[in-house]
Copies of this chain bind each other. A is one copy, B any other.
């Protein structure tokens, strides 16, 4: 059984590695966890001893198959709880993250299976992110950050990154929700800002915003 802290580190490693694709450096992980590098090294050793990650001194960590599954089961819980909070308790989009961060650590497979059933087996959470199944399998749609798009591109928003509640409020205001169509009207190479059409409204996006909007590739 993983401790709450171990779960949080593992989840962060999974996300920083982009689903296991890349190695994660100690300092990047420390920054994500809001801890110092020394603490992070300690935890890396612990997760490594539990075979959830592989670790080569000074060269960062990679999630193992076992670690990936464990991470996906935590993410499954997080996303099912977010769905519950929005659909059943009428939380707004930007309120859910913090509470779901706590709820995801409740240890009961039975609870999560029942919750999934109660919600009608949703496949994506309110941010548009896919919900892993009870074995930890996830369907990853090919997606790309809106900041990568060329002028003239038309596509559908799949998901938005949910790290910051202020960003979510802003995205909500401009109507950038999963499922919405988006068209790139113009793009300024200098600062990588762009203008898009969404709901027949012209919206200006800085790169800081556009990189958090994931669209069909």
Q: Interface on A for B, CB 8 Å cutoff?
A: 85, 88-91, 95, 98-99, 102-103, 106-108, 110-111, 114-115, 117-118
Contacts and interface: CB of A to CB of B under 8 A. Distances in A.
B106 A102 contact: yes
B103 A106 contact: yes
Q: How many copies does the complex hold?
A: 2
Contacts of A110: 91, 95, 99
A18 B195 CA distance: 64
A102 B4 CA distance: 12
A105 to B, nearest CB: 8
Given A102-B107, A102-B108, 16 more contacts: A85-B111, A85-B114, A89-B111, A89-B117, A90-B114, A91-B110, A91-B114, A95-B110, A98-B108, A99-B106, A99-B108, A99-B110, A99-B111, A102-B106, A103-B103, A103-B106
